[in-house]
Each structure stands twice: as structure tokens, then as C-alpha cells.
Structure 1
Amino acid sequence: MGSVLAVGCGGFIGASLRYLCAEGISKLYTGQLPVATFAINLLGSFFIGFLSQWLALFYPNHRMLRLFMTTGILGGFTTFSTFSLETADLFQKGSAGIACLNVAASAGCCVLGALAGRAFANVTGGMR
């Protein structure tokens, strides 16, 4: 039950942060490309890569902390379902090129973001 509570509390925080970030980004950018979702997923990918590595280095036996931070907060913050819906909407509106760009950029950049996060954790982990 403690694991469910850790994930649920983290999810509340992450989903709330996602909403606030999306609102802020949407006020700055009003173009056709779903930039808010892309930015949130890229940031979340970097941080999940960083935290998974950092927690493994410094807190390898703290499963609840890992669940709270990665599955909870970052799982609630990032949003594959919104990405999927926005991409489907682009296809249905006849913007297949932008939809394909969104898929390629999101997949490629988010994987690179997770790798960069892990690398950054390794570098900063060696500085302690």
C-alpha cells in the first residue's frame, strides 16, 4: 500500500506541474506544432534519466523514493497520451508532415534526453 501512496502522491505533483508548464508554454507559443507537450516530455525524459541513475548511485536501497520520484512525479509530468492525441489531431487536420515531424522529434529527442540525464548523473555523481 505504501508503494501505491508514493506513486499517487508523486503523480499528483507531476500532473499539476505538467498543467502549469503547459499553460505557461502555450501562452508563449501559439503555432501548430504541440511545443508544450514536446518540451514537457523532453524535460521529463532528461530528468527520469538523471534521477534513475542518480538514485541508483546514491540511494540504491530506497525503492519508495525511486517510485515517488520516477513513476510518480515524472510519470505524472510526462504525457505520452497527450502526445498521441495531438499527433492524431494533426493527421486528421491534414498536417501529416507536422505530425511526422512531431513523432520523429519527440521519439529521438526524448531518448537522447534520457541518455543525457544519465550521463549528467554519472558526471555529477563522481563529483561528490
Structure 2
Amino acid sequence: MLKNAFAVGCGGFIGAAARYLFSVFVNRINTGNFPISTLIINILGSFLIGFLTQLFSSLYPSNKKLLLFLTTGILGGFTTFSTFSLETVNLYQSGNMLYAALNIIFSIVFCISGAFLGKMLAGIIANA
């Protein structure tokens, strides 16, 4: 278990650094207000996590540590949206359409609400 955690941690470092560098690069080109770098990162991460999990389950089913390094580690550090996307697709493909829909709705509503409430609370504390 410790080896798996180490693999995930090393991958997380790579993914987080890649997200930062990619955002810096895209934001030099993008001068608008829309967060295009985050959108591109989330789309790319979602594609890659789906691709890698399917590829590994078909071609390398016993190489769990490398899959953890790539998906939970690198892509988890690159974007946690990729994990949300994969879990939602897995729910849908396994016939749990209701849970897939609830995961989408709850994630959007509660995560955005959480970010909003967190900002409000920090504002209250900072201005107290």
C-alpha cells in the first residue's frame, strides 16, 4: 500500500506541475476572461483517464501500480475533474443512469456552492 501511495504522490507532483505550466502557456495566448486553460485541461484529463483505464484493463490488467501512477497520480494532479468524469461514465455504462445523473447534478451544485460559500466565509473572516 505504501508503494502505491508513493507512486500516486510522484504522479501527483508531475500532474500538478504540468497543470501549472500548461495554464501559464495558455493564459499567455488567451487574453479573455473565460478560463479556457482549465476547460482544456479538464477535457484532456477526462479523455486521457478514459483512454488509459480502458487500455490498461485490456492490455495490461495486472499492472495496477503504473495505472495508479498515471491516472490517480498524474491525471489526478492534472485535474480531479477527470476522475469525476470517469466515475460518471462508469456509472452510466454499468446501467446506473440515476446515479450518473445525480453525480453530475450533485457535483455541479454542491461543488460550486462549496466554492461560493468558502469564498464568502473567507471574506467574512478577512473583514472581521
* TM-score of the aligned structures, taking structure 2 as reference length: 0.62
Percentage of matched positions with identical amino acids? 51
Q: Report if aligned partners of 1:13, 1:73 keep a CA contact under 8 Å in 2.
A: yes
Q: After TM superposition, which residue ranges in structure 1, 4 or more long, deviate above 4 angstroms? A: none
- Would you say how many aligned residue pairs link Structure 1 and Structure 2? 86
Tell which has more relative contact order, 1 or 2 (C-alpha 8 A, sep 6+).
1
> Where do 5+ consecutive residues of structure 1 fail to align?
93-128
Query: Cα RMSD (Å) of the superposition?
Result: 2.2
Show the counterpart of 2:50: 49
Deviations 1:70-103 (A, max 9, x none): 00000001155xx959x85xxx9xxxxxxxxxxx
**TM-score for both structures, normalised by structure 1:** 0.62
Q: Larger radius of gyration, structure 1 or 2?
A: 2
Residue segments in structure 2 that go unaligned for 5+ positions in a row: 82-110, 121-128
Which whole-Å deviations, capped at 9, do the CAs of 1:34-85 have from their partners, x for residues lacking one?
10100011101010010010011111011101100000000001155xx959
**Alpha-carbon contact 1:18-1:77 (below 8 Å) kept:** yes
Q: Distance in 1 between matches of 2:61 and 2:67?
A: 9
Alignment of 1:2-41 (within 5 A): 2-41=3-42
